[in-house]
Structure 1
Amino acid sequence: MKVGIVDTTFARINMGKIAIDELRKICSLPYERYTVPGIKDLPVAAKKLIEERGCDIVIALGMPGPKPIDKQCAHEASLGLIMAQLMTNKHIIEVFVHEDEAKDEKELWMITENRVREHVRNAVDLLLNPKKLQKLAGTGQRQGFPDVGPLLR
């Protein structure tokens, strides 16, 4: 099994480096990294990692800016990632951190690092331990922020 990691030069934080660090910490799965210029380049890169480089899952990392055009591009990229998943029948874990999620650069770093690391763990669990994710169903997990917990009835 192999993990694909696709990231962008547009991001203000080296999200691919964080993903690789976390992957190395938690398992010994091989990985392929593919860096593209912008967020709308992620879908084809993810598809290529699956079809041409033999990846079983891909983590797609992006950091859209705060402007309306950035949000539109992120939405378009997200739709492309969904299409690539359906075309390849493989999971592509979208990990976007919008610059305006944070009040300052320190918080942006914290959100980014947390979200990337948690989604790397999710990707590995999807491949190696899907029952672990089943146990977390409905528990209000959040990547990048504290978990909110389940609604109890």
Structure 2
Amino acid sequence: MTAEAGGPDSEALLDSIGATLGKLRRRTHLVKVVDPPVERKDLSRNLVINIVDEANSEITVGGVADQLGIDPSAASRMVSDLISQGLLERLASQRDGRRTVLRLTPEGTAARDRFRRQHRQAFEHITRDWPARERLEFARLLRKYVDSADDL
């Protein structure tokens, strides 16, 4: 299948992006060579930890819900799980004492780092047969894509 710019194959390739990105997220955590092994709840925990970690300012449970595109009650359950695991903590906002914001604990930072190592291991395993140049180019383009999405 060739995907020359403007050709019919390029249209099919571009039409497949949504499903491809979803599959990427779902499949990466299933790679069995990752050490330590990925646990069942790690996918959702990783999502919330990254949202809290990447927040440019204070973030609330409502902010997590907005970022994930889910109901606030579902986000609250996810956050409560992370708090009970000692990965997040609730604090009074420094801007508005009536608000409660979220912050990673030292254990949460360690979990973030573990998730990142696991993702790198999965990436390296999945792309193990790729030339190094292609592996790095894909990583660079994927980061460029995410950075562009962040700019929206």
TM-score, normalisation: structure 2: 0.27
Higher fraction of strand: 1
TM-score, normalisation: structure 1: 0.27
Structure of higher CA gyration radius: 2
Higher fraction of helix: 2
